[in-house]
Amino acid sequence: MIKNLMQLYSLSICFISALIVLICLIFLAQSTVDLMFFEVRHKDRLEQYSNNENYLLRDGYSNVNEIALTAEQLTERRLIMKNNYIQTTRTSSINTVINTFIGIVISLLFLVIHFKIYKKALTS
């Protein structure tokens, strides 16, 4: 039973910290899966870069003849864009992993501190 406001405050912060840890774990799991199974998670988007026709359809062109680039230039441009997409997506996933680790550590710190406050308020 909660006897005073300090206990209520400390348990409330513990509850909020635990929720934040759970939410961070969800983001961490998603980003980890994203990094480990990149080709599976981004198959639809990578399909747009699989050949020149799909790449042009992505940009709104109906056929290869509408663009003023040679096939080699178009292939080079497509591969550069594919590599940029892969690099950007992986960097974003790594940033999410790092940020969620930071969130987990800070939330656990708050949880431990406020649980100690609760235990101290329980004895007084």
Of 8, 14, 2, 32, the C-alpha closest to 95 is 32
Q: How many CB atoms lie within 10 A of CB 3?
A: 10
> Residue ranges of the domains in the chain?
5-123
pLDDT of residue 61: 67
Using CA atoms, how far apart are residues 46 and 87, in angstroms rounded to an integer?
12
Using CA atoms, how far apart are residues 50 and 45, in angstroms rounded to an integer?
9
pLDDT of residue 60: 67
pLDDT band of residue 64 (cuts 50, 70, 90) is: low
- Are 66 and 56 contacting, i.e. CB atoms less than 8 angstroms apart? yes
pLDDT digits (tens, 9 = 90+) for 70-93: 878 888 988 999 999 999 999 999
Higher pLDDT among residues 17 and 74, named by residue: 17
